[in-house]
C-alpha cells in the first residue's frame, strides 16, 4: 500500500503491540461548535475502525487509553457521558467484531466503576477469552502509578507471607494489569500532545513513540499506516550497539 509520503508498509515487520493514547476528542468538537461529548462519540467510531485496521494488519496486541484515573476530575456531565459511551461500546463490541478473532480485555481499577460496567466487562472478557488473534485491551480507569501501587502492595503481602523472597523485574511485571502481555512496541498519541499522561509507564520503557497532530476523531487507517512506517524506520537498540 502506498501512502502520501510514497513509503510502503513492510508487512513482515508489523509491531506486535501497538498502544494508543486517543486524544483530541474535545478539541475536535470545539472546532465545530459541538459539545465535548459529541467529540467522544465520534472518537468511539474511530476506535472501531482502528481496531479493524489493526486486525487486518495482523497486529497481535492493541491497547487503547479510554479513561485515566485523572479523568474523574472532568465535569460530572462529561464523565457520565464517557461512562455511558464506554458501556455502550462494551455492549456492542462482540456483535460488531463478530467473525473476527478479537479477544477483549479491560485493564484498570474496578473501584469507582458502576456495577453495570463491571458486569459488562466481566461478560465480554469471559465470552472472548478463548479467542486467539488480536488481543484488544481497553484501559479504563487506568493509571500507571496506581497500577504500580497495587502491584507493590501485592508483592509486600506475598513477601510477608513468605510466598516470595526476592523481587525482580519479572515479579513486578507479573503483578501489573498487563501480566503476560508483551510491552508495547509502538505508542501512538494523537492531537499534538507529547506526553505519556500516566499510561503504561513501566511497560513503555523501550517503546517507540509516535506523535501526530491529527485529532483522534479524524485519525484513520492511513494515519495508522504512517505511524507503522515511521516505526519501521527506527533502529531499536535497547541500550546496546548496532
Ligand atoms: C481524549 O480526548 C478522550 C479522553 C481523555 C477520555 P480529550 O477529551 O482529552 O480531548 P481534548 O484533549 O480535550 O481535546
Ligand atoms: C489521556 O488524555 C487520557 C486518555 C486519552 C484517556 P488526557 O487528555 O486526559 O491527558 P492530558 O490531561 O492532556 O495529559
Ligand atoms: Mg486530552
Q: Residue 139 forms beta bridges with which residues?
A: 65, 107
Distance CA 122, CA 120 (A): 5
Of all residues in the chain, what percent carry a pLDDT higher than 70?
Answer: 98
Question: Residues 159-180: what's their mean pLDDT?
Answer: 97
Cα separation values, 59 from 55, 68, 142, Å? 6, 24, 22
Cα separation values, 228 from 1, 89, 147, 197, Å? 12, 26, 28, 22
232 in contact with ligand 2, CB cutoff 6 A: no
Listing DSSP states for 200-211 in one string gives STTTTTTPEEEE
Q: Ligand 1 pocket test: which of 20, 22, 23 has the largest number of ligand atoms within 8 Å of its C-beta?
A: 23
Interval 194-239: pLDDT, tens: 999 999 999 999 999 999 999 999 999 999 999 999 999 999 999 9
Distance CA 94, CA 86 (A): 13
65 in contact with ligand 2, CB cutoff 6 A: yes
For residue 67, the ligand 1 atom closest to its alpha carbon is 6
63, pLDDT greater than 80:
yes
Average pLDDT value over all residues in the chain = 96
173 in contact with ligand 2, CB cutoff 6 A: no
Handedness of CA 183, 99, 139, 31 (dihedral sign): positive
Please give the pLDDT value at position 221. 98
15 in contact with ligand 1, CB cutoff 6 A: no
For residue 195, the ligand 2 atom closest to its alpha carbon is 14
Give the residue carrying C-alpha cell 469507582: 112
Interval 92-104: pLDDT, tens: 998 898 899 999 9
Chain CA centroid to CA 239, Å = 26
Task: Please tell me whether residue 8 adopts helix, strand or coil conformation.
Answer: strand
Quick one: which ligand is closest to 198's CA? 2
Residue closest via CA to ligand 2's atom 8 equals: 23
Q: How many whole angstroms from 196 Cα to the centroid of ligand 2?
A: 8
Is 23 a catalytic site residue? yes
Interval 10-43: pLDDT, tens: 999 999 999 999 999 999 999 999 999 999 999 9
67 in contact with ligand 1, CB cutoff 6 A: yes
Task: Grade residue 7 by pLDDT with cuts at 50, 70 and 90.
Answer: confident
Are 207 and 182 spatial neighbours (Cβ–Cβ below 8 Å)? no
Are 152 and 167 spatial neighbours (Cβ–Cβ below 8 Å)? no
Q: How many whole angstroms from 216 Cα to the centroid of ligand 1?
A: 9
Instruction: Give domain 17-143+184-232's CATH architecture.
Output: 3-Layer(aba) Sandwich (3.40)
Please give all residues whose CB falls under 5 A of ion ligand 3, grouped by chain where several chains appear.
Answer: 23
Q: How many whole angstroms from 215 Cα to the centroid of ligand 3?
A: 10
Interval 126-142: pLDDT, tens: 999 999 999 999 999 99
CA neighbor of 63 nearest in space, from 163, 238, 241, 189: 189
Grid coordinates in use for 211? 506523535
The sheet that has 186-189: what strands, in order across it? 102-107, 134-142, 61-68, 17-21, 186-189, 208-211
The structural domains of the chain, with segments of one domain joined by +, span: 17-143+184-232
Neighbours of 153 (CB within 10 A): 11
Please give the pLDDT value at position 94. 86
Amino acid at each position: 500500500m502506498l501512502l502520501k509520503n510514497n513509503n510502503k508498509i513492510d508487512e513482515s515487520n508489523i509491531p506486535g503491540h501497538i498502544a494508543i493514547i486517543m486524544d483530541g476528542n474535545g478539541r475536535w468538537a470545539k472546532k465545530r461548535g459541538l459539545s465535548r461529548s459529541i467529540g467522544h462519540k465520534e472518537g468511539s467510531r474511530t476506535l472501531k475502525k482502528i481496531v479493524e485496521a489493526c486486525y487486518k494488519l495482523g497486529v497481535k496486541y492493541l491497547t487503547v487509553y479510554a479513561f485515566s484515573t485523572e479523568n474523574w476530575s472532568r465535569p460530572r456531565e462529561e464523565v457520565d457521558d464517557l461512562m455511558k459511551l464506554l458501556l455502550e461500546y462494551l455492549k456492542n463490541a462482540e456483535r460488531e467484531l463478530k467473525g473476527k478473532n478479537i479477544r477483549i480485555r479491560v485493564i484498570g481499577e474496578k473501584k469507582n466503576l458502576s456495577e453495570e460496567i463491571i458486569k459488562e466487562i466481566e461478560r465480554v472478557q469471559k465470552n472472548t477469552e478463548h479467542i486467539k488473534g488480536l488481543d484488544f485491551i481497553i484501559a479504563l480507569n487506568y493509571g500507571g502509578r496506581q497500577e504500580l501501587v497495587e502491584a507493590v502492595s501485592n508483592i509486600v503481602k506475598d513477601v510477608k507471607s513468605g510466598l516470595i523472597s526476592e523481587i525482580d523485574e519479572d515479579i513486578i511485571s507479573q503483578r501489573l494489569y498487563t501480566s503476560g502481555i508483551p510491552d508495547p512496541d509502538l505508542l501512538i498519541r494523537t492531537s499534538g500532545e507529547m506526553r505519556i499522561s500516566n499510561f503504561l509507564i513501566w511497560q513503555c520503557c523501550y517503546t517507540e513513540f509516535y506523535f501526530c497532530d491529527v485529532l483522534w476523531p479524524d485519525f484513520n487507517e492511513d494515519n495508522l499506516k504512517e505511524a507503522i512506517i515511521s516505526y519501521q524506520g527506527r533502529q531499536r537498540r535497547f541500550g546496546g550497539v548496532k
